[in-house]
Amino acid sequence: MDPVRVGLLGLGTVGGGALNVLVRNAAEIARRAGRGIVVAHAAAREYDADGLEGLDQVEVCDDAFAVVDNPKVDIVVELIGGYSPARELVLRAIDNGKHVVTANKALIALHGNEIFAAAQAKGVTVAFEAAVAGGIPIIKALREGLAANHIDWIAGIINGTGNFILTEMKDKGRDFVEVLAEAQALGYAEADPTFDVEGIDAAHKLTILASLAFGIPLQFDKCYTEGISRIEPQDVAYAEQFGYRIKHLGVTRRTDKGIELRVHPTLIPHSRLIANVNGVMNAVLVQGDAVGPTLYYGAGAGSLPTASAVVADIIDVTRTLTTDPENRVPHLAFQPGELSDLSVVSVDEVKTAYYLRMTAVDRPGVVAAVAGILADADISIEAIQQKQPPEGETEVPLVMLTHRVRERQMNAAIEKIESLDAVAGAVTRIRVEQLK
């Protein structure tokens, strides 16, 4: 049988990795796929040929649309990233009757509903394993391995750059900006690194996971997103003293009121396995009713780990080339006509426990005033500590853990605490999850 011909859009970190894996493991991949897979065409404006294997067998041009329109290309692999022209390229590939593999989480999270509808109409597949958690096959796990389950919730460390920064801050007390620059140099960070540190990248990925878990359309605009840029080294240290670790989590949960969809820094008991996922590694914890908790761990970014997922998708698509489109695994795990209209709840309705830190004047009655506000709001304090003031200062950090409360109640209480004369500046608030 003739080999399957891939058209690669992008020869950067992930594109170069995908080419290398396809060339290096060609024989084994052919044994798995049932036929050879070759990169016949590629489009890249700028690329570094050093370290790219088998490039002499690839026709490289700088026009991605020419690759998408090339009748000799069977599978288009979009590794350019961003919203545009990625969306136009993918839609044109579908219109041309080609299957698509993409690592583009932003594209799927924002335009996935449109793209999957177009693919369904044309009878082609759009595969996107590399869009979430790099090399971890979490999409396959949710769509296939856990298909028997009613999924209750998912909590994941799904941005490697953010996890790398938090880990370096905790272990080495390193500066935020310096660690971010290192993550960029290592090829982990997004082109716009605010996507990593402000949680947008994690929100893209969580949006995809929620749709796969609960069978709802992709709704990125409903995802509550809070980054790690306001986490201070003292919060990392105080959390440790309470027995917790701060991780940047994506959490999606099925509740009576609808689906929670939120990305934010979170205190997790340090005894949990997921609290010990460090550096650029990712982990996704899935709670299913039949299987119980399952944890998926691995490299969430980087050239070869992401290429691993891209190439697995290319193999999957190759295996299904001759199958009836109606009998393929649905894009969002549930049959397209069976998606549910469960609503995404506002973060105001979400109930979590909280870590609070405030700077207070050290005089009698201040703790009582703060505790009184929390009591009036029906918020129960689990632990409270007054810390030593920083060198030369008289105001003291006051840190506490609360029991679970609805976000709206906590926001109202924080507003009242901030209005106390004895409390200086804003209250730092970090949500706490037990992940039991």
**Using CB under 6 A as the criterion, which residues of the chain lie in contact with ligand HSE when the complex forms?**
134, 159-161, 188-190, 196, 201, 300-301
Closer residue to ligand HSE, CB minimum distance, 207 or 428: 207
Which pair of structure tokens corresponds to residue 105? 């989480």
- Helix, strand or coil, per DSSP, at residue 417: helix
* N residues, the chain: 436
Compute φ and ψ for 231, nearest 5 degrees.
Answer: -75, 130
In whole angstroms, what is the distance from residue 250 CA to residue 207 CA? 9
d(CA 137, CA 130): 8
Task: State which residue, 161 or 402, has the beta carbon closest to ligand HSE.
Answer: 161
Structure tokens, 351: 């109930």
Query: Catalytic residue at 416?
Result: no
Give dist(CA 345, CA 302) in Å, integer.
33
CA–CA separation, 118 vs 432, rounded Å? 41
* Shortest distance (Å) from residue 205 CB to ligand HSE: 7
Quick one: 202 or 275, whose CB is closer to ligand HSE? 202
Cβ count near 158 (within 10 Å)? 31
For β-strands 381-386 and 396-402, DSSP reports them as antiparallel
**Cβ 293 to ligand HSE, closest distance in Å?**
23
CA nearest neighbour of 267 among 166, 415, 409, 387 = 166
Contact assessment for residue 393 and residue 360, using Cβ atoms and an 8 Å cutoff: no
Q: C-beta of 156: minimal distance to ligand HSE in Å?
A: 11
> 70 or 104, CB closer to ligand HSE?
104
- Cis geometry, peptide bond prior to residue 85 (ω within 30 degrees of 0): yes
* Closer residue to ligand HSE (CB): 55 or 301: 301
Q: State the minimum distance, in angstroms, from the CB of residue 181 to ligand HSE.
A: 14
Q: How far is CA 436 from the centre of its chain?
A: 21
Name 184's Cβ contacts closer than 8 Å, sequence gap at least 6.
Answer: 193
**Considering the complex, what minimum distance in angstroms separates the CB of residue 188 from ligand HSE?**
5
Residue with tokens 């941005």: 159
Give the C-alpha separation, 367 to 337, whole Å. Answer: 56
Nearest distance, CB of residue 130 and ligand HSE, angstroms = 8
Q: How far is the CB of 434 from ligand HSE (least distance, A)?
A: 25
Among residues 205, 247, 257, 416, which one is catalytic? 205
State residue 362 phi and psi, 5-degree precision.
Answer: -90, 85
CB 154 within 8 A of CB 284: yes
Tokens of 409: 């109640």
Complex with ligand HSE: residue 197 or 410, whichever CB lies closer: 197
- Residue positions annotated with a catalytic role: 205
